[in-house]
Amino acid sequence: GSGGFRKRKHDNFPHGQKREEKENVNPSSPLMTSFKSFQLELDTRHDKYERLVKLSRDITIESKRTIFLLHRFTSAPNGEEILNESEVKLDAVRRKIKQVAQELIGEDMYQFHRAISPGLQEYIEAASFQYFIKTRSLISIEEINKQLIFTTEDREETTNMTSNSQDKQPHTWSLKVTPVDYLLGVADLTGELMRLCISSVGNGDIDTPFELSQFLRQIYDGFTFIGNTGPYEVSKKLYTLKQSLAKVENACYTLKVRGSEIPKHMLADVFSTKTELIDQEEGLS
At 117 the pLDDT is 95
Q: How far apart are CA 86 and CA 53, in angstroms?
A: 24
172-174 and 149-151 as β-strands: parallel, antiparallel, unpaired?
antiparallel
At 158 the pLDDT is 45
Question: Which value, in Å, is the radius of gyration of the alpha carbons in the chain?
Answer: 27
Cα distances (Å, whole numbers) of residue 76 to 11, 83, 172, 266:
74, 11, 38, 20
At 285 the pLDDT is 36
Q: How far apart are CA 23 and CA 5, in angstroms?
A: 29
CA angle 80, 85, 87 (to 5 degrees): 95
pLDDT tens digits, the chain, 285 residues: what are they? 555 556 555 556 555 555 555 566 677 788 888 888 888 889 889 999 999 999 999 999 999 999 999 998 887 788 899 999 999 999 999 999 999 999 998 888 899 999 999 999 999 999 999 999 999 999 999 999 999 998 875 544 444 444 444 445 567 878 999 999 999 999 999 999 998 988 887 777 778 888 999 999 999 998 888 877 767 888 788 888 888 888 888 878 877 776 656 665 565 565 555 555 445 544 433
Task: Indicate the annotated binding residues for Mg(2+).
Answer: 125, 192
At 206 the pLDDT is 78
At 263 the pLDDT is 60
**How much is the pTM?**
0.77
Cβ-based neighbour number of residue 203 at 10 Å:
14
Task: Indicate the annotated binding residues.
Answer: 125, 192
Which overall architecture, per CATH, does domain 187-284 show?
Up-down Bundle (1.20)
Domain boundaries, the chain: 41-154+170-177, 187-284
How many helices (H) does the chain have, and how many strands (E)? 9, 2
Provide CATH code, domain 41-154+170-177: 1.20.58.190
Question: Would 41-154+170-177 and 187-284 be classified into the same CATH topology?
Answer: yes
